[in-house]
Structure 1
Amino acid sequence: MYSESGGITLWRASQLARSAGRTVPTGHERLSHELPGGGWPVGALTELLLSQPGIGELRLLQPALSAVAKRPIVLISPPHNPGVIGLSYVGMPVDKLMTLQPRNAADALWATEQVLKANTCGAVLLWQQHMRADSLRRLSLHAQASDVLFIALRPLITLHDASPAALRLALRPAVNGINVEIIKRKGPVGIEPFDLVLKPSPVLLSPHGRMTRPARKVAPVQSPQPETVD
């Protein structure tokens, strides 16, 4: 690596990379401390490996998605149709969300490539059960040619699969939040998994929990119709 003065600097695998291109703050101090550049990488493939959908992954990503919401945020093949009221309650920029529900995995990958190539979105979130290594490489290359925050959400069973992702995290449910295990990053990996407290808490996300707090006035938002990629 070259320093700004023109000399050569040496990066060791035992060191956490601090200069990792553009990043987006995670909004979680403990997590940011463990990530190269102190945040989610932009223009790169990040994988979140979930023990099951709905364990808090959107609450984890909410601060970053809000930070890039000057441009649209595209959700591709989410396992559940996003609820505008629920997403707004946890602070998601719902007026910037676009949902694509392609008919099959091949269409979902094609749609993701097109969105990355267009480079007009702030973030792209792709949910996929199975992806071949060559498909991941193609998406990674398209991400590198963009300035998009690109997150692929995949099952935890893919933990030991080879991946070109710049960052891979395994996520499991934890008391009041989520447990994070760093599987791959630029730098040492062998750190112990750690818990992050996510807000609002699961109790506050329940209908009963919401009744205990003053109701937030949310402007009506036209929920986008699911689009089909031909």
Structure 2
Amino acid sequence: MPLEHINAHTSLEALHPSLWRASQLARGLSDVVACGYPQLSQELPGGGWPAGALIELLIDHPGSAELQLVRPALHAQKHGQIVFLQTPYQPHSDALLQAGFSRQRLLWLRSQKLVDALWTAEQVLHSGNCAALLFWQNQVRTDALRRLHLAAQHGRTLFFLMRSSRFKDHPSPAILRIHVQAAVQGLHLAFIKRRGVQKHDALFLPANLPLPMFNRLVIETDVSTTQDTTTVVDRPTSAELGTRRLSPSLVS
């Protein structure tokens, strides 16, 4: 719009779709995935989960509520595999199937070391071949988070990082941060960070919680005790980077 046509009554939307007022939610987000909850859609910039960006879900107890929250969005992704990385417990295959997840689309990966887990996450995100990545990891440096955010932007992958709620006051480049708590017959969501006006009161989402989707068994750190249903991925040496490919097994 020519400058001479701009006046005090000109709306920001008329200037550029990505502009918004401080009292509004962010606009101009063209690549979002439907969250499946009408009440939540009204509180998310763009009306859905942003694809190609770092989203942090801060949780009190791993496996208690985060999968219930993102389940509709994962179902909305019709193509590509859904990757579970560094889950705190072994996925419960029967409960996942009952929740509507296809066995052929689920990949369960884990690494022995943080550096290998971060490398795996970056490769999954940067490739753009997967529908979504769910990554459970508490201790992550800010510079590593930035790399993951950039990798997600490159691959346009739906990316959720699950961290303990004790990290909610830590700085993060994530464009969306939500504290997720399981409640009676639903979920409580507290918005820690979002683009646009801040929401100070928690949002309650009515939901019928399914069977626990994780077995309450802490995964062993010694790979010698690992069953064949899991692929252990270690970061290759620099000489292997050009030829190494991820070949994870399916959850069974």
TM-score normalised to the size of structure 1?
Answer: 0.84
1:161 aligns with 2:170: yes
One-letter code of the match for 2:141? R
1:35 aligns with 2:32: no
Q: 1:119 maps to which residue?
A: 128
Q: 1:220 maps to which residue?
A: none
Q: Which moved more, 1:27-36 or 1:185-194?
A: 185-194
Measure, in 1, the Cα distance between the counterparts of 2:103 and 2:178: 25
One-letter code of the match for 2:64? I
Return the offset for 1:153: 0.4
Q: 2:231 maps to which residue?
A: 226
Among candidates 90, 97, 102, match of residue 111 of structure 2: 102
Are the aligned partners of 1:128 and 1:154 in contact in 2 as well (CA < 8 Å)? Answer: yes
SS of 1:172's equivalent in the other structure is strand
Measure, in 1, the Cα distance between the counterparts of 2:185 and 2:44: 22
Q: Deviations over 1:14-39 (max 9, x none)?
A: 21123212110111111111001111
Q: 1:174 maps to which residue?
A: 183
Are the aligned partners of 2:112 and 2:232 in contact in 1 as well (CA < 8 Å)? Answer: no
Q: 1:71 maps to which residue?
A: 80
Measure, in 1, the Cα distance between the counterparts of 2:196 and 2:115: 33
Return the offset for 1:194: 1.5
Return the offset for 1:175: 1.0
Are the aligned partners of 1:69 and 1:93 in contact in 2 as well (CA < 8 Å)? Answer: no
1:8 aligns with 2:15: yes
Return the offset for 1:91: 1.8
Q: 2:5 maps to which residue?
A: none
Q: 2:199 maps to which residue?
A: 190
Measure, in 1, the Cα distance between the counterparts of 2:107 and 2:69: 19
One-letter code of the match for 1:63? P
Stretches of structure 1 lacking an aligned partner (at least 5 in a row): 207-222
Measure, in 1, the Cα distance between the counterparts of 2:42 and 2:199: 15
Return the offset for 1:13: 2.0
- In percent, how many aligned pairs have the same letter? 41
Are the aligned partners of 1:48 and 1:170 in contact in 2 as well (CA < 8 Å)? Answer: yes
Are the aligned partners of 1:18 and 1:38 in contact in 2 as well (CA < 8 Å)? Answer: no
SS of 2:231's equivalent in the other structure is coil
Q: How many residues align?
A: 207
Stretches of structure 2 lacking an aligned partner (at least 5 in a row): 2-12, 213-227, 236-252
Return the offset for 1:7: 5.8
Are the aligned partners of 1:69 and 1:96 in contact in 2 as well (CA < 8 Å)? Answer: no
Measure, in 2, the Cα distance between the counterparts of 1:105 and 1:58: 22
Tell me which structure has the larger Cα radius of gyration. 2
Q: 2:225 maps to which residue?
A: none
Label 1:146 to 1:228 Cα distance change in 2 as closer, same or farther (>3 A).
closer
Are the aligned partners of 2:120 and 2:233 in contact in 1 as well (CA < 8 Å)? Answer: no
Pairwise CA RMSD of aligned residues? Answer: 2.0
